[in-house]
Chains A and B, each alone.
Chain A
Amino acid sequence: MLVLNDVTKKFGNFTALENINLEFNHGVYGLLAPNGAGKTTLIKMLVTLLFPTKGEILYNGAEITSLDEEYRDILGYLPQEFGYYKNYTPEKYLMYLAALKGLNKKEADKRIQELLRTVGLEEVTRKKMKKFSGGMIQRVGIAQAMLNDPKILILDEPTAGLDPKERARFRKLLTHLSHDRIIILSTHIVSDVESIANEIVMMKNNTILYNDTVSNINNTLAGSIFETEVPFSDVERFRDNYQIISERQDQEHMTIRFITNDQADEKWTSVTPTLEDVFLYVYEDDQTLAGRVS
């Protein structure tokens, strides 16, 4: 069990995270927040690259930094940007990291072959990585994180650069792995976590906003999400009055999905809220997102 107690992180005068309290048990956690909300800072603290300014991070009751290599032994980490040596083959590269992870050569060898098959790189194990596409590099990164069969697997934007097929394969892999370990998945792509995450951690203003299951979070907007057809002439006025989530242009009119607490109009259809709805609603006033919605 991984626990954060009142964790605050400051960089000089700037507070990146404030009073974070979290608990991770087995399962997949989706860390959902727009860019700049402190996701990467939180993750870097969980992997011991950054140290909390205040508070503590405990694994099974012990401070992770004092556990030292005992903690890193059960840790798998895929950073957003990770270093690889262009002139190395994936095999050689993984051998190097296996050494850093304290695996002995024989078991590493077996494990590497296994993992390269799992991520679908068995054909190119001896090719230099400088020839690899972004998706292939990312798969090497995922394999790397899995090398030591970690109890805690932390992935920062793991699906960036993957095509839909690779993404599906990756989700299947995670579900398969999630039985006996903690998987923390940071992303701003809602669909990545919606189906596989047991719990979602949403962050806003450098602190935790929600920490709950997908359905519970979705329920917070139950009865407030509608869809309706609006003639083009009325679209402007409608936009001014309601908080729009999405618009779709049809032949005669616009189909608009929006949030309101008003009494439902008869032309409106009430719909089940999705995580995407919550995301857009929650970060509506967020500057980085505002530009995207309107």
Chain B
Amino acid sequence: MRIIWYEIRKLLDWKIISLVLLISVLFFELFLSFDFDHFPNGRPKGDTFKVTKQMIDQYGTEMNEKEFQDFKETYQKEVDKAGDYLQSRDDFVEAGVTTYEQFKSMADGKEKLNELHNDIMFDKGIDVFWELQSRESIMESYERKKEDFFKDTAHIHNSAWKQDIVKGSSLNAILPHFVYENYNNLITMFAILIILTVMIVVGRVFITDQQNYALHLQYTTHIGRKLFKKKVIASMLTAFVITSVYIGVFLLLYAGNDPQAFLQSSLRSFDAHTIHWLDMSFLQYIYLTIMAVYLLAFVAAAIAMFLSRAVNQYISLIGAQVPIAVVLILLISEYLVSNLFGIAYPMYMTIGTYAGLLVLGVAILITRWRKERKMDIK
């Protein structure tokens, strides 16, 4: 245990920690801060966010047909409120716009009316008008949910599966697509940041000892070549720690995006733009992606460790890690994390890739250990 602790401390050298922190901060500013700072991004997304949260309060995670009727009634009440507002404004009354219907069809191109329209929507930003827009699009997607679902799944030839879903209630789930997409972007970019960090940190595990002939000393001590195994454990623990810290930071920051209301909703909501093979709640999806990130971090650590032992120079280490990082990043942003188990890729491909990566990671370490045990150290 003491040896593992020493090896971890060697990996987490303060210089390397500062380096990866600096890189992480830059990465965060470039690729992540936007999705934290600007969520929900603009109008009417912010209004939709508010309305859907109210809906969950009222209807639970799903909205059935009866509740939808109620929702429509609420919409009518809001329309009346908008009308009241319009009537309260002399300029609108003068222009002959006194109902929401009229407001909506205010003719384009007529400058005067345009100005009035903009005054409500942009200059004053009257909430009720934006909320009405949100409610309309919610109603629209609710009414079109089956149609949309069949369109989205047109390339899948499994009508039994589709029928099951349409018959079930998950299409009634309340989860705005941008809430899901926001999480999806964030976890994808975090996954990339995490595997890069793991590769940088763990990549040094052997090469520092190899570069200055420390291996000769280490392999002739009591622990001997079993040090290899200890280093494997140390690297995996380090990868675990790095991933946990980053995921922890991520969850803390993500809580600020206020997704709590939606955690129990099914991903197959009526507003879903991405359909998944599995019927998961948003929370289950979060768990699943986090597990995926851990898995990828371990695989990245295994590969980095293997390379670290196989090469002798830092330039070769970078040269070997760059293509692997590129491939992992592409896979992560295609289907290994982003839209995990989405129907854009067959399920067996996702599972197959993970299994393949896992087997690869284990296999290279085992073969290396077998070799390590009996190789001449020149």
Contacts and interface: CB of A to CB of B under 8 A. Distances in A.
Interface stretch (A28-36, A96-104, A178-186): A96-104
Contacts of B218: 83, 97, 100
Interface stretch (A72-80, A210-218, A232-240, A278-286): A72-80
A82 interface: yes
A105 B374 CA distance: 30
A96 B377 contact: no
Interface string A49-89: 11100000000000000001100110101010111110100
B13 interface: yes
Interface string B367-378: 000000010111
A69 B3 CA distance: 15
A229 to B, nearest CB: 49
Contacts of B215: 83
A44 interface: yes
B216 A100 contact: no
B150 interface: no
B377 A100 contact: no
B378 A50 contact: yes
B216 A48 contact: no
A96 B9 CA distance: 11
Contact of A75 (B2, B216, B220, B226): B220
B287 interface: no
B4 to A, nearest CB: 9
A148 interface: yes
A49 B213 CA distance: 12
A138 interface: no
A144 interface: yes
B300 to A, nearest CB: 25
Interface residues of A, number: 30
B6 A49 contact: no
A69 B376 contact: no
Nearest to A86: B212
Contact of A81 (B3, B213, B220, B223): B213
A99 B219 contact: no
A81 B210 CA distance: 12
A11 B378 CA distance: 10
A31 B253 CA distance: 65
A69 B217 CA distance: 14
B212 A83 contact: yes
Contact of A100 (B10, B211, B213, B222): B222
A143 interface: no
Contact of B2 (A51, A77, A85, A105): A105
A197 interface: no
Interface residues of B, number: 27
Nearest to B217: A82
Given A84-B212, A100-B3, A50 B220 contact: no
A97 B221 contact: yes
Contacts of B6: 95-96, 99
Contacts of B181: none
Contacts of A47: 220
Nearest to B219: A49
Given A49-B376, A51-B376, A96-B6, A72 B222 contact: yes
Nearest to A78: B217
Contacts of A69: 222-224, 226
A144 B221 CA distance: 10
A68 B376 contact: no
A148 B2 CA distance: 17
B221 A87 contact: no
A77 B3 contact: no
Contacts of B217: 77, 79, 82-83, 97, 100, 144
A77 B227 CA distance: 17
Interface in B197-248: 208-209, 211-224, 226-227
B8 to A, nearest CB: 12
A38 to B, nearest CB: 13
A74 to B, nearest CB: 10
Contacts of A68: 224
A141 to B, nearest CB: 9
Interface string B1-22: 0110010001001000000000
B376 A84 contact: no
A129 to B, nearest CB: 11
Interface in B352-372: none
A172 B368 CA distance: 43
A44 B216 CA distance: 9
Given A49-B376, A102-B223, A83 B216 contact: yes
B13, B214, B220, B224 — most chain A CB neighbours (10 Å):
B220
A105 B3 CA distance: 11
18 contacts: A48-B224, A50-B376, A68-B224, A72-B224, A75-B220, A77-B216, A77-B217, A77-B220, A82-B217, A83-B209, A83-B214, A85-B10, A99-B3, A99-B6, A100-B217, A100-B221, A101-B221, A102-B223
Identify the 6 closest CB pairs spanning chains A and B, nearest first.
Answer: A83-B214, A102-B222, A83-B212, A100-B221, A49-B377, A79-B216
Interface of B: 2-3, 6, 10, 13, 208-209, 211-224, 226-227, 374, 376-378
Interface of A: 11, 44, 47-51, 68-69, 72-73, 75, 77, 79, 81-85, 87, 95-97, 99-102, 105, 144, 148
Given A47-B220, A51-B374, 9 more contacts: A44-B377, A49-B378, A79-B216, A82-B213, A85-B214, A96-B6, A99-B2, A100-B3, A101-B222
